Structure 1
Amino acid sequence: MSETESSTSAHPYLLDGRRVTIGDLLEAHLLAAGDKLTFHRPRKNETHHAEVSAEGGGTIRLPAGGKVYRSPSRAAGVAVGSGSFDGWSAWQTDSGLFLDALRQQLLDQAAAQPQPAGEADKTARVPTAAERHEWLKSARQAADTGAEPVSLSVRDLLGWWGATGRGAVREQIEAELANHGLVTQPPFEQVNLESTIQLVRVPSESASTASSAGDGEAAVREPGPTVGTIASSMAGVTGIKPAADLDEAVTQMLLNDFSQLPVMSGPYKVIGAVTWKSIAQARHRNGESTLAQATVEAREVRYDHDLIDVLPVIAQHDFVLVRGPKNDIAGIVTASDVALAYGTLASPFLLVGELDQRLRALITDRYTLAEVTAVCDPNHTRNLASFDALTFGDYVRVLSNPACWQQLGWRLDRVAVTRRLDDIRKIRNDLMHFNPDPLPRNAEPRVRAVIDILRTYTD
């Protein structure tokens, strides 16, 4: 393959949120249909074979059965028969280059091209896609050479994408990390914003039967809030040794305003916990009760456990101890912590609900269903049968349409109003998915301002 051929067809948008595919390598002439691929497993004394196919826009064909796979990781797993693999680091060409190396070439070519229109409009505080690419390359190099992995908070990670919350950029971050063969440890979506994470390499092989999360063909879990997204879950925990006396426990609880105190013989070993209730019951039975007599069972959960499944346990026992990524006790989550984390969502949730109702009433009153369908479903693929089938995004599409806006007769700037509505759409999505990250500080007044406009112009 010539140098000229390998330097064409690089796509700058690959730096901005889409996973590289076999089809991209074909289009860039870094691979060609019919190229042979091998997957060597020296420790198992195994070698598996495949070839590149143009079928399906770019796939890997396995000789057994002739099936094709868009995902290199899926192809590697099927070839072996079990386990999970990073296919980009498994398959290599006859020239000895791994698919991962070809992927890096393509990304470097994309970074060398002029930035897409609009990139220069971003504020200086937000890195460009090309700058982010170079940063991820350096993180990859650190991970490959065994140097200290890049460590940063989740909040700082989001800053590289110009975001303050994970809702709108989670998939983009995961895709760009995957393109560089990286993941975060622990997973950035499973811990709170102040938690420290490291950028590490995608595991080359694991015992799991699921495909490696490297190329997007495997089933993607739509994450709900995990226990680790509650700030106190990873904030450390103050405990007391089992040899201490009960008066010391009471003193610690009073000084720190604790409702419970873990009894621990080390960061990994939990004996139980004392609570005001257990202390009262112990001293009611015996005024000279020991710490052991006031100690009750302490429930433990992992940081990556779905919060929704843990809520009944917290409701029943008032708290849980949380084991972190290293299996130590990383923090504690109480019923008050959960209420504090989600109580702030109540007012925006109600406001967005009112805005949703007012927008639907406006569109129902001012437009026919045919007019709305022409804008929102011109190809009739959704079969919109009523206004009830419209989404918030449909409201934005209707009002963004110049002809529809003109029908309103409002002497307001259409672009400014619909841009604000699109911002609110993202806020609404975070609320509807109970994204645990804090909403932007100005989220509530921004929603209220649009509601005031609708009240003024429609009431």
Structure 2
Amino acid sequence: MTSETLEESSGRTMHLLGGRRVTVSDLLEAGLIRVGTKLRFRRNRIGVTYDATVTERGRIRLEPEGEEFRSPSRAAMVAAGMRAVDGWHAWLVVEQNRSLDAVRQELLDQAISSAAAAAHRQTEDTARQRIHERLRQARGRAEERAPERMSVRELLSLWGAKERGDQVSQIEADLANHGLVTSPSFRAVTLDTMVSLTTPLDEADGTATEEQPEMVDLPVAGDEEGGGDLDVRLMVGNLSPLLGVEAVNPNSTIEEAITKMLINDYSQLAVLNGPRNLRGAITWRSIAQAMHQRSTPSLGDAIDPHVEVVAYDRDLFEVLPTLQQREFVFVWDETKEIKGIVTTSDVAQRYGEMATPFFQLGEVDQTLRWILNRSFDVETLQQACNRTITSVDRLTFGDYQRVLENKDCWARLGWPLDRPTFVSRLEEIRRIRNKVMHFHPDPVAEDAVDILRRFNNMLHHYRDLA
């Protein structure tokens, strides 16, 4: 292979390791399968087999219906009438007697091998190679039924990320390409929640061969039509780390419950008879009602059986009416164990965390606009921004930066401040603004809120000099 061919191959294959899901077309292009390749999805438990063919467009054509799908999972779901199934594992490449996922892994191995051979010319690919090797190791552990566990924060750090921002799609694509999912979903929990890197087949207990067992509804490693689901919801699990709940068992004493509530400053306790058997809750209200009815009530007298339990990946907005009425809900994890609790106080705190930077940014925006309106005419602003502006109200945050980094405009303000330092901080605030306005699920860092607050205080001090 010539150096030019090596670089071209490395550039093409490394792209698959940089945030895009592998497709059937990629397998065709690499020569790992061919047009007309026969695929089979067998459900031994009910004695049904579904056949399909790979088309020249890289689609999966179901037989005999003729429907075509870009996504292996979508093709398997439609063929079998199932709600969810990982098609990369379900479809068997008949002539090779291995799953589509096995072919996908071979493609990724080729990609990393080509990139490593050209590493001296493509040092920027080092991080992608490291991620690939790391996920390949995690895949091996998952297949050995010893899945790796880490916090969401540790997972994000593999991609150099500190929060679930713009890199989420890339992370999901890299996981999907290696046939991995996180359990629970890393989108729907807190940054400190522990997740397992596992494969859907961990729950199916089978492999994609001619003896493949019945496939069931599984968590899919993301290959839906159009490149995956858009999910920007705030979920119940984003407020609960799923580390378990403080509880008493039905045979405990009411004194034990009261003591636990006082020591931990809790307003409620779960009453559990096993991790999945929630008998109700003890609250200060239920204790007061029990004591009103009996002079020496038992724990059973104080149990409120009318409690709500919701899944960790439930949309928080759907749960708000229940929280308003009940003041708390218990949270199931992915195995239906009671692992968390969300209260109205938690919701108020999260929305406060989200609202504070939002309003601080609004104050920055309004103050800068007021200063520019007082200091410059529209013609001057147009020249600085190099675009047509009919009113100061039409200025964007980028326009503020262009005006204030202009030496002549800055001189007209008369501020005894260093312009480069001021503009640098304004750029930092612009990045904070983008995160807030994109509604990332993680709270804005406390130091970012302090940056906004201090900047607003400075603007208030100097605005009267404009």
Alpha-carbon shift at residue 151 of structure 1 (Å): 1.0
The amino acid across from 1:136 in the alignment is: L
Alpha-carbon shift at residue 10 of structure 1 (Å): 3.1
Q: How does 1:128-167 map to 2 (within 5 A)?
A: 128-144=127-143, 146-167=144-165
Q: Could you say what secondary structure the match of 1:184 adopts?
A: strand
Assess, with a 3 A threshold, how the Cα gap between structure 1 residues 8 and 305 changes in structure 2: closer, same or farther.
Answer: closer
CA distance, structure 1, for counterparts of residue 25 and residue 453 of structure 2: 46
> Is the Cα–Cα contact under 8 Å of residues 267 and 329 in structure 1 kept in the other structure?
yes
Q: How does 1:352-371 map to 2 (within 5 A)?
A: 352-357=361-366, 365=378, 366-367=381-382
Partner residue in 2 for 1:84: 84
Alpha-carbon shift at residue 134 of structure 1 (Å): 0.2
Alpha-carbon shift at residue 223 of structure 1 (Å): 3.8
> Is the Cα–Cα contact under 8 Å of residues 74 and 211 in structure 1 kept in the other structure?
no
Assess, with a 3 A threshold, how the Cα gap between structure 1 residues 10 and 93 changes in structure 2: closer, same or farther.
Answer: farther
Assess, with a 3 A threshold, how the Cα gap between structure 1 residues 65 and 331 changes in structure 2: closer, same or farther.
Answer: closer
Which 10-residue stretch deviates more, 59-68 or 18-27? Answer: 59-68
> Is the Cα–Cα contact under 8 Å of residues 53 and 60 in structure 1 kept in the other structure?
no
Assess, with a 3 A threshold, how the Cα gap between structure 1 residues 372 and 108 changes in structure 2: closer, same or farther.
Answer: farther
Q: In the alignment, does 2:456 pair up with 1:444?
A: no
Which 10-residue stretch deviates more, 94-103 or 268-277? Answer: 94-103
Alpha-carbon shift at residue 68 of structure 1 (Å): 3.3
CA distance, structure 1, for counterparts of residue 146 and residue 11 of structure 2: 35
Output the aligned Cα RMSD.
Answer: 4.0
Which 10-residue stretch deviates more, 164-173 or 441-450? Answer: 441-450
> Is the Cα–Cα contact under 8 Å of residues 245 and 339 in structure 2 kept in the other structure?
yes
CA distance, structure 2, for counterparts of residue 172 and residue 302 of structure 1: 26
Q: CA offsets per residue over residues 347-394 of structure 1, 9 Å max, x none?
A: 2121122344467776995239x96589xxxxxxxxxx999899xxx7
Alpha-carbon shift at residue 236 of structure 1 (Å): 1.8
Gaps of 5+ in 1: 121-126, 375-384
> Is the Cα–Cα contact under 8 Å of residues 189 and 238 in structure 2 kept in the other structure?
yes
Partner residue in 2 for 1:169: 167
CA distance, structure 1, for counterparts of residue 258 and residue 153 of structure 2: 36
Assess, with a 3 A threshold, how the Cα gap between structure 1 residues 20 and 372 changes in structure 2: closer, same or farther.
Answer: farther
Partner residue in 2 for 1:245: 253
Alpha-carbon shift at residue 257 of structure 1 (Å): 1.9
CA distance, structure 2, for counterparts of residue 305 and residue 248 of structure 1: 32
Which 10-residue stretch deviates more, 420-429 or 324-333? Answer: 420-429
CA distance, structure 1, for counterparts of residue 303 and residue 88 of structure 2: 52
Q: Could you say what secondary structure the match of 1:272 adopts?
A: strand
CA distance, structure 2, for counterparts of residue 373 and residue 74 of structure 1: 48
Q: Could you say what secondary structure the match of 1:84 adopts?
A: coil
Alpha-carbon shift at residue 37 of structure 1 (Å): 2.7
Q: Could you say what secondary structure the match of 2:247 adopts?
A: coil
Alpha-carbon shift at residue 282 of structure 1 (Å): 2.3
Alpha-carbon shift at residue 183 of structure 1 (Å): 0.4
Alpha-carbon shift at residue 67 of structure 1 (Å): 4.2
Gaps of 5+ in 2: 205-213, 411-418
TM-score norm. by structure 1 comes to 0.77
Assess, with a 3 A threshold, how the Cα gap between structure 1 residues 81 and 307 changes in structure 2: closer, same or farther.
Answer: closer
Partner residue in 2 for 1:229: 238
Q: CA offsets per residue over residues 106-142 of structure 1, 9 Å max, x none?
A: 323333425797848xxxxxx8221111010011112
CA distance, structure 2, for counterparts of residue 162 and residue 202 of structure 1: 26
The amino acid across from 2:69 in the alignment is: Y
Assess, with a 3 A threshold, how the Cα gap between structure 1 residues 269 and 147 changes in structure 2: closer, same or farther.
Answer: closer
Assess, with a 3 A threshold, how the Cα gap between structure 1 residues 453 and 276 changes in structure 2: closer, same or farther.
Answer: closer
> Is the Cα–Cα contact under 8 Å of residues 72 and 91 in structure 1 kept in the other structure?
no
